[in-house]
Structure 1
Amino acid sequence: MQFAVKLKRWARVVATVALVSLVAACGGGGGGSSDSSSGSSGLPASPTAQPIAANAANTAAITVGTGTSNVINIPTVTVTVCVPGTSSCQSIPNVQVDTGSFGLRIASGVLSVALPQAAVPNGSGTLVECTNFADGYSWGSVRTATVQVGGESTTTSIPVQVLGDVSFLVPSGCVSGSEENTVSALGANGILGIGVAPYDCGSACATGQNSSYYACSGASCARTLVPVTNQVANPVAHFAVDNNGVIVEMAPVSSTGSASGTGTLVFGIGTQSNNARAASQIFTTDAAGDLNNSSFNGRQLAAFFDSGSNAYFFADSSLPLCASNFKGFYCPSSGQTRSVNVAGLNGVSGVANLGILSAATLFANGNNYAFNDLGGQIGGGSSFDIGLPYFYGRYMYFGFDQSANGGQAPYVGY
């Protein structure tokens, strides 16, 4: 999801949500369980880390299950939004945890509190944002709210986006595919973008020609530049404490799929006794969280770790695709291991081993919603999306970009 640089993640997320929604409609340290199904041999060893209890102020419980729309591998938490300076608040469950985007976005259909509109910087009208996906787009106003997740809250109000809440004619430069502003289209009540950036598009929207923000009035909308501090913001980066990153800790699941998954979202890295940075490898990234010097099958590409993608997405012609009922997913006849060489800007490199089982086999049990070895095709081959399956049984660290203030560079680690 992203604008300029960042929306590429969101684009991929929404595309996979739509795809897996069709699958669901048809009935249809990772996992510590044994491989009991035929075809599961050939998978890499599964990590077995267990999440800490979500009982501290800097934690929130993550759930993977049927959610709002019976979409697989959608990790969710509860987010509370409040009208700034008041006690008028709403707790919204089933908000997707997305390390591949930045900022909180809520489907207007679930929002019951009247969050105030954000002002158009140096202008007038309504501030609206367009976000383009691989198969569609969303369109909604920018509002302000104080945001609470777990026991932590933003110190002041921050800009958030409400999807599908305005009637302004969508500019032609925004329209791409179908409009995706509803709970059913998103597969969740909203998206909590907690990737490495503190704001959603940075200089691309502050000084660039292709800002994703619009000033709308009457029957017209025109692109407008928005200073970084007025852009939709990563809530965790604006907490009073524990604001330098997050740890996504997911419990293991079976290689053949589990009915549900659990985990803990931990705020801060190295700021409390429960969030020490214990990653064996740390890879610094670009501002969007990409590891652009990575490679797969001898080809350089951008790899990224994205809890908002419900499968691994990459190009591999040696893996057979599924039949039309599971279009876009891989369906090998036996378990497969694929290895992507991950390389950070700091020169640190490592190998991420991914397991792939046939999607048709995995989806045969329509009661399972958590999978750690699901893979699908991505167009081109210039990127490798290491999605939620890799998070099961691991502690995944995402350090926020604080370089603008002389602090840490953005990084991922595990």
Structure 2
Amino acid sequence: MCLRPFRVLSTAALVALVSLVAACGGGGGSSGNSNSSSSGSSGSGSAVPSPTQQPTAATAANTVAVTVDRGLTGTLPNIPTVTLKVCVANTSTCDTVSNVQVDTASFGLRLLASALPNVLSSLSPVMLNNVNLAECTAFADGYTWGTVRSADVKISGETASNIPIQVIGDLGSNTVPSACAAFGNAQNTVQDLGANGILGIGVAPYDSIGAYYSCPGNTNCTAVTVSQTQMVANPVPKFADNNGVILEMAPVSDSGAPSATGTLVFGIGTQSNNAMNASQSFATDQWGRLSSTFNGRTLQTFLDSGSNAIFFADSSLPQCGGNLGTFYCPSSTQSFSAALVSNNGATSGTATFNVANASSLLGSGTNYAANNLAGQFGSSTTLDLGLSFFYGRYVYYGMDMTATGGKAPYVAY
């Protein structure tokens, strides 16, 4: 499942900022996860200590710096971004693209056409029967629509050569299929998207559940079935360090901060700077989902940097209302724990986190990094451990390599 924030109209309008992507990772359907034998707890009256792991220096070829700050629009907290390079395949003609959101629960690179001024016209279209392909990615607050094109994707010293990416907003509004337009407003500009694009580095190697269309002459688009080689591709399995990623976010103050830093490390156990040191590891399904028992209920659970808060339903927590929407605003910080279980039921563990007053954390729009930010959005049957959960932790994502006889997907921290 892939999650993204709602857009907002002003810095003050910090509403509940996450939405389920209907075409991504199963779209919120049943995962068939095993039940936990223990019960996660409700909030208690005292906070637990926040994690304090410091990120690896982003100096090696398999690392890239991660930044959380006001971003391009100054409207969204907890949006981790990196800078990458997109090149015409097998050439030195490239665009450097900053402010690309790191999303560990989606799969593939999607960039705004406006972020590719030098290479867009030269990126070869991916075709089916000599007809250009396009993709619709649906969000609860709208959709992205654009062509699928081949490009070399370079992040620090890692290169994924000649892979399909989605270019957002390079087709006219009159080409949008009705099934795509039904999801609401187009997210085809920086102001709409809140970033220059989305880097989907979750456990799946391809976006095999995206909605693909054949567009002869980039018009009259019709839904089609495509092969794996034509699907928008997760760049990580194409890197030299290709078996996973580690997202390492520095700890931030429990009262929020104007900005935060981190490091995205490619590969797990492939170099001296990416050893597997997690204390808890969980097998997931092909989309990175596992199970938890939380507040007496069994929930579909995922660790998602593309969600800017921890999202779950709890009627005992007061919501902020007003400009802060369904973010939680308890009078004092509450601690929670969820009993996690691997998708195959083989291992179990615990996720512990705090929920603080969102109004205090965000500082009336001056803070863009918050480790105890939580709210209610989406399905009541899910626990979404968004970026708030990542601060002060190393979170590992093992790629699904079963198609080539390798390891099954997992998450760990």
Q: If the length of structure 1 is used for normalisation, what is the TM-score?
A: 0.88
Task: Indicate if the aligned counterparts of 1:14 and 1:134 stay in contact, CA closer than 8 A.
Answer: no
Per-residue deviation at 1:364?
2.7
Q: Deviations over 1:169-228 (max 9, x none)?
A: 211111211111211121111111000011112xx4xxxxxx600001254111111111
Per-residue deviation at 1:348?
1.0
Q: Cα gap change, 1:366/1:119 in structure 2, threshold over 3 Å: closer, same or farther?
A: closer
Per-residue deviation at 1:26?
4.9
Query: What is the alpha-carbon distance in structure 2 between the residues aligned to residue 41 and residue 186 of structure 1?
Result: 37
Read off the aligned partner of 1:95 and give its amino acid letter: V
- Which of 326, 329, 332 is 1:328 aligned to? 326
- Which of 134, 137, 149 is 1:128 aligned to? 134
Query: What is the alpha-carbon distance in structure 2 between the residues aligned to residue 265 and residue 94 of structure 1?
Result: 14
- Which of 197, 200, 206 is 2:204 aligned to? 197
Query: What is the alpha-carbon distance in structure 2 between the residues aligned to residue 136 and residue 24 of structure 1?
Result: 20
Per-residue deviation at 1:127?
0.7
Q: Does 1:244 align with 2:264?
A: no
Q: Return 5+ residue gaps in structure 2 as ranges.
A: 16-43
1:96 maps to 101
Q: Percent identity?
A: 54
2:184 maps to 177
Query: What is the alpha-carbon distance in structure 2 between the residues aligned to residue 379 and residue 192 of structure 1?
Result: 22
Q: Return 5+ residue gaps in structure 1 as ranges.
A: 1-5, 29-39, 205-210
1:83 maps to 88
Read off the aligned partner of 1:221 and give its amino acid letter: C
- The 5-angstrom pairing of residues 281-296 of structure 1 reads 281-291=280-290, 293-296=291-294
Task: Indicate if the aligned counterparts of 2:164 and 2:231 stay in contact, CA closer than 8 A.
Answer: yes
- The 5-angstrom pairing of residues 3-402 of structure 1 reads 6=1, 9=2, 12-15=3-6, 18=7, 21-22=8-9, 24-26=11-13, 42-70=46-74, 71-112=76-117, 113-114=119-120, 115-121=122-128, 123-154=129-160, 156-167=161-172, 168-175=174-181, 176-201=183-208, 204=209, 212-217=211-216, 219-239=219-239, 241-291=240-290, 293-346=291-344, 347-402=346-401
1:35 maps to none
Deviates more, 1:49-58 or 1:105-114: 105-114
Q: Deviations over 1:19-60 (max 9, x none)?
A: xx34624599xxxxxxxxxxx972221111000111101000
Query: What is the alpha-carbon distance in structure 2 between the residues aligned to residue 23 and residue 236 of structure 1?
Result: 35
Deviates more, 1:253-262 or 1:64-73: 64-73
Task: Indicate if the aligned counterparts of 1:100 and 1:193 stay in contact, CA closer than 8 A.
Answer: yes
Per-residue deviation at 1:126?
2.0
Per-residue deviation at 1:13?
1.0
Per-residue deviation at 1:83?
0.2
Question: Tell me, what secondary structure is at the counterpart of 2:146?
Answer: strand
Question: Tell me, what secondary structure is at the counterpart of 1:363?
Answer: helix
Read off the aligned partner of 2:312 and give its amino acid letter: F
1:208 maps to none
Task: Indicate if the aligned counterparts of 1:302 and 1:384 stay in contact, CA closer than 8 A.
Answer: yes
Q: Cα gap change, 1:194/1:151 in structure 2, threshold over 3 Å: closer, same or farther?
A: same
How much is the aligned-residue C-alpha RMSD, in angstroms? 1.7
Q: Deviations over 1:274-312 (max 9, x none)?
A: 100000111010000000x32211211110000111101
Query: What is the alpha-carbon distance in structure 1 between the residues aligned to residue 232 and residue 358 of structure 2?
Result: 36
Query: What is the alpha-carbon distance in structure 1 between the residues aligned to residue 227 and residue 348 of structure 2?
Result: 35
Task: Indicate if the aligned counterparts of 1:159 and 1:230 stay in contact, CA closer than 8 A.
Answer: yes
Query: What is the alpha-carbon distance in structure 2 between the residues aligned to residue 306 and residue 87 of structure 1?
Result: 33
2:21 maps to none
Task: Indicate if the aligned counterparts of 2:86 and 2:94 stay in contact, CA closer than 8 A.
Answer: yes
Task: Indicate if the aligned counterparts of 2:396 and 2:412 stay in contact, CA closer than 8 A.
Answer: yes
Query: What is the alpha-carbon distance in structure 2 between the residues aligned to residue 51 and residue 179 of structure 1?
Result: 36
Query: What is the alpha-carbon distance in structure 2 between the residues aligned to residue 323 and residue 27 of structure 1?
Result: 10
Query: What is the alpha-carbon distance in structure 2 between the residues aligned to residue 26 and residue 223 of structure 1?
Result: 37
Q: If the length of structure 2 is used for normalisation, what is the TM-score?
A: 0.88
- The count of aligned residue pairs is 378
Query: What is the alpha-carbon distance in structure 2 between the residues aligned to residue 237 and residue 186 of structure 1?
Result: 26
Query: What is the alpha-carbon distance in structure 1 between the residues aligned to residue 14 and residue 241 of structure 2?
Result: 41
Task: Indicate if the aligned counterparts of 2:288 and 2:410 stay in contact, CA closer than 8 A.
Answer: yes
Question: Tell me, what secondary structure is at the counterpart of 1:49?
Answer: coil
Read off the aligned partner of 2:373 and give its amino acid letter: L
Read off the aligned partner of 1:227 and give its amino acid letter: S
Query: What is the alpha-carbon distance in structure 2 between the residues aligned to residue 267 and residue 162 of structure 1?
Result: 24
Per-residue deviation at 1:367?
2.2
Question: Tell me, what secondary structure is at the counterpart of 1:280?
Answer: coil
Task: Indicate if the aligned counterparts of 1:329 and 1:375 stay in contact, CA closer than 8 A.
Answer: yes
Question: Tell me, what secondary structure is at the counterpart of 1:174?
Answer: helix
Question: Tell me, what secondary structure is at the counterpart of 1:84?
Answer: coil
Per-residue deviation at 1:380?
3.0
Per-residue deviation at 1:261?
0.4
Per-residue deviation at 1:151?
1.2
Per-residue deviation at 1:379?
3.1
Read off the aligned partner of 2:48 and give its amino acid letter: P
Query: What is the alpha-carbon distance in structure 1 between the residues aligned to residue 301 and residue 354 of structure 2?
Result: 16
Question: Tell me, what secondary structure is at the counterpart of 2:403?
Answer: helix
